Amino acid sequence: MSVIQSSLFTLLDASKIDVSKSINVASVPQRSLFRYPGGKTWLVPYIRSWMMTLQSRTTSFIELFAGGGIVSLTVAAEGLAEQVILVELDDDVASVWLTSLNDQRDWLAQQIIEFEMTPENVDKVLSHYPTSIHEQAFQTILRNRVNHGGILAMGAGRIKYGENGKGLRSRWYPLTLKRRIFDISNLTNLTFIHGDAFTVLSQYQTHPNAVFFIDPPYTASTQKAGTRLYRHAQIDHERLFEQAAKITGDFLMTYDNDDVVRLLAKRYGFDCEAIAMKNTHHAQMNELLISKNLEWLRQ
């Protein structure tokens, strides 16, 4: 199946979403190297639907808070935009993206394949300061795979028992990770920027054919769910909304379903809709989609 055929197929598929039912994430191809806290695999069918309403005018798809970047990887792999740009501030997360897209990807894949997962070996690799970006990338992938919930922020604990008592090996899939590294490196329409979301937003804000996917740390609401999940968890949410209001093209934002966020969205004249999803503990909950106009969701 060609890229265009496969996009059409998935787009047609996406037109039947019921926002009150959570998406079965097993139906979404996993492409990310990360298990990312707050990852948006569940949102992928919505993104396809949204892109279908815009497709003829989308040149650049820009994900401002990339994390594991599943949304951008899907848009790039399914050819839903000409150019895909990911932006992430965290040095560790950035090292993985940079290495997957540079000539050290083979080294990284080889390290993953050769690594024997034992608590001693994990300690050995993580006990020293990395001397290169690719070494930092290997350490980050390892930490992401052995920490609870894939959390990379300071203070995150390691998996002890894991799934089926497999302990640290629970989330270690070397061949899958290797394949994903090469799949990512083959995405010629994908660019990664190690930097600040606000800087990139201001650079592309007035491009008529640029659309933004904005999934910031959830720290605007009363619960501040994102506080302990990321090293860079504090952002100026008011400024983000203010800047989003200046986007010429379109944007889709995600937040926790909270009155503080709804009020913020209302003040800037944005449209909101609660969407059912399942969190990492498989509990059913709602998150908020925010955009200029979400009529496409309600049709």
Minimal distance, residue 121 CB to ligand SAM, in Å? 27
Of the ranges 50-58, 60-68, 126-134, 269-277, which one interacts with ligand SAM (CB under 6 A)?
A: 60-68
What type of residue sits at position 52? M
Of residues 186 through 215, those in contact with ligand SAM by CB under 6 A are 196-197, 215
Phi and psi of 133, rounded to 5°? -65, -40
Question: Exposed/middle/buried for 101, CB within 10 Å: 0-12, 13-18, 19+?
Answer: middle
Does the protein bind ligand SAM through residue 38 (CB under 6 A)? yes
User: In the complex with ligand SAM, which residue's Cβ is closer, 11 or 47?
Assistant: 47
Question: Exposed/middle/buried for 67, CB within 10 Å: 0-12, 13-18, 19+?
Answer: buried
Q: Which residues contact 59 (CB under 8 A, 6 or more apart)?
A: 81, 82, 83, 207, 209, 210
Interface residue with ligand SAM among 45, 58, 62, 88 (CB under 6 A) is 88
The token pair at 104 is: 């050290």
Minimal distance, residue 105 CB to ligand SAM, in Å? 20
Distance between CA atoms of 132 and 259, rounded to whole angstroms?
44
User: In the complex with ligand SAM, which residue's Cβ is closer, 39 or 45?
Assistant: 39
Minimal distance, residue 253 CB to ligand SAM, in Å? 11
Of the ranges 17-25, 89-97, 256-264, 271-279, which one interacts with ligand SAM (CB under 6 A)?
A: 89-97
* Site of interaction with ligand SAM (CB under 6 A): 36, 38-40, 65, 67-71, 87-90, 93, 196-197, 215-217, 230, 232, 235
